[in-house]
Amino acid sequence: MNIHKKKITKTLILIFILWTASGFQLRAQTRDVGITIHLRGVFESKISLLSLSSSGTFKPIKEVQGIKNGETIKLSVSGEYLPGEFVLRFDYKEKESDSPYPSEKYIFINDQDLELRANPKYCNNDDSARFQEGERENEAFVQFSNENGRQKEKLGLLQNFLMNYEDTGSKFYQQGIKEYEHRRQIFNNWLKTRFEQDKVLFVSSLYDFQYLPEISWRGTETDRVRSLIDHYFDGLDFNNPVLIRTSGLNKWMDTYVNLFGQQCTTTALRDSLLPIAGKKAIERARQGNPLVYGWMVDYFYRGFEANNIQSGMKILEPYLEDPTCLTSKRKEIARRLKGMETLVVGSIAPDIILKDSEGGEFELDQTPGPENYILLFFWSAVCSHCVETANMLYSWHQQTEIRQKIMVVTISLDETATELSAWEKKIPDLKGWKHLRAAGGVNSKVAGDYFVLATPIMVLIDTKTKVILALPITLAELMAAIK
């Protein structure tokens, strides 16, 4: 087969995969759905509807200001968001002179128009936020959640007891295992029955997250955790593309990663174990729907990028060439991998030309010192980890000996008005540093030159030669790089 034919074949395969993956679109709604909200119990409220984004966060898609007590509004939800999980947010005032106070209610929308009577102060109480008679999705989920809580309460206590029990040879322990296994089977059978009962509903996609996997109770506590990891995915249907429309998938994967995190006593061990976690999860998702497969790659990309785990980023590389992987982060992953190859210790740092916070012009190549080192600190003022790192770095930098050696240059990737306001408020606390801001954030030229996709990032540079000396992740690594 010649190269031209290979390209055509690969394109046809991709078209076929995209077509077969369209089951997700077929399950999405073709019409808009309306939500009628009757407000009561407060003077007025702003009402917002937030939709679940691909990154697992909720973002506003509708907003109505100044709804008074006793008034009714109707929101139209586009079919592109459906079926889905949403947050209905009220920023309400009890009295006209009050400042707005927030409250939120999680709701599910599928193919049914909704009517809700809500008192924002108590919007999560059944008697203060009522859907119309015959509403299906939210009513089913409330019933399922209540029964699930009752069923799992004793099971959870028993599981924790067995996981931490040391005398594994005792009759008491063996009796506990038998009782747990008996109850686990009953629970999983109930879960299966409940799913069959509600399988036409969107909320039934969340039931799988409650499945109790098999655990081998032999060996140490560590052995039991490893057994739980081995069976973690047993109850999940990776062929169900609607999973990616639930916040439960993100939470469920966080729990999985935390099982590995419990074993990470050092940064090096973390950087070794979490890529294993990613590889195992992605390979399992690869056997399912392409959208779930792509979501899984995106999930680990965000985690590896946020924690600067380069060994994890490398395990994502093979999936970029797989046309069945419908990742939305293909460009970002490729950019990070390129950065790992080109922006390395020993390479020349790209020049930076930006205005500083005082209106002066900063040019990296024209910065002679007198300090021996320049530390570039890419950050965002609304990133809690960035601020925590900045505070520790600043405290350490106040030592006269350190201050004479290192010039700290911060580069803000803040973009929105809220982010810029936080940046302007924070920089006076970091006196003595040079503060720059890259307009465009992660899409700016400087972020592109340094392959920065998440913050914080530190780059230690030799002042005279502009050679990169270190790419420290922690303050301890930075201290070790200073002579």
CA distance 133 to 139: 10
Beta carbons of 84 and 52 less than 8 angstroms apart? yes
Residue type, 302: R
Q: Mean pLDDT check: name the lowest of 18-32, 101-115, 177-191, 369-383.
A: 18-32
- Band (pLDDT 50/70/90 cuts) for residue 20 is very low
Measure the CA–CA gap between 352 and 349, rounded to whole angstroms. Answer: 9
Over residues 252-257, mean pLDDT: 96
- The per-residue pLDDT for range 193-234, each reduced to its tens digit, is 999 999 999 999 999 999 999 988 888 888 888 999 999 999
First to last CA, the chain: 58
Higher pLDDT: 472 or 218? It is 472
pLDDT of residue 385: 87
DSSP for residue 356 = B
Report the distance separating Cα 241 and Cα 237, nearest Å: 9
What is the percent of the chain where pLDDT is above 90? 65
Over range 28-41, report the average pLDDT.
86
Q: Compute the mean pLDDT over every residue in the chain, rounded to the nearest whole number.
A: 88
| pLDDT value at residue 33 | 95
Section 272-290 average pLDDT: 95
**Stretch (H or E) spanning 255:** helix 247-261
Is the link from the previous residue into 102 a cis peptide, with omega within 30 of 0?
Answer: no
* Radius of gyration of the chain measured on its C-alpha atoms: 27
- The answer to whether 224 and 213 have CB atoms below 8 angstroms apart is no
Question: What confidence score (pLDDT) does residue 332 get?
Answer: 82
- What is the predicted pLDDT for the residue at 252? 96
State pTM to two decimals.
0.75
The pLDDT confidence band at residue 29, using thresholds 50, 70 and 90, is: low
Angle at 161 between CA 193 and CA 181, to 5 degrees: 35
Banded pLDDT at 401 (limits 50, 70, 90): very high
pLDDT at residue 453 greater than cutoff 50: yes
Q: Which residue has the higher pLDDT, 156 or 470?
A: 470
Return the structure tokens found at 451.
């392959």
Give 4's pLDDT tier (boundaries 50, 70, 90).
very low
Q: How far apart are CA 228 and CA 222, in angstroms?
A: 10
Residue 410's H or E segment, with its range, is: strand 406-412
What pLDDT, on a 0 to 100 scale, did the predictor assign at position 30?
A: 60
**Residue tagged 């990663």 (tokens):** 257
Q: Sign of the C-alpha dihedral, residues 315, 321, 323, 329?
A: positive
User: If pLDDT is split at 50, 70 and 90, which confidence band does 434 have?
Assistant: very high
State the angle between helix axes of 290-306 and 267-286 in degrees (0 to 180), rounded to the nearest 10: 170
Residue 161 has pLDDT above 90, yes or no: no
More confident site: 244 or 24: 244
Give the strands of the sheet with 44-52, arranged side by side. 58-68, 44-52, 84-93, 101-109
**Domains of the chain (ranges, CATH numbers):** 31-131 (2.60.40.2190), 148-341 (no CATH), 353-481 (3.40.30.10)
User: Cβ(373)–Cβ(406) under 8 Å?
Assistant: yes
Q: Within 13 Å, how many C-alpha atoms sit on residue 289's CB side?
A: 19
Share of the chain above pLDDT 70, in %: 94
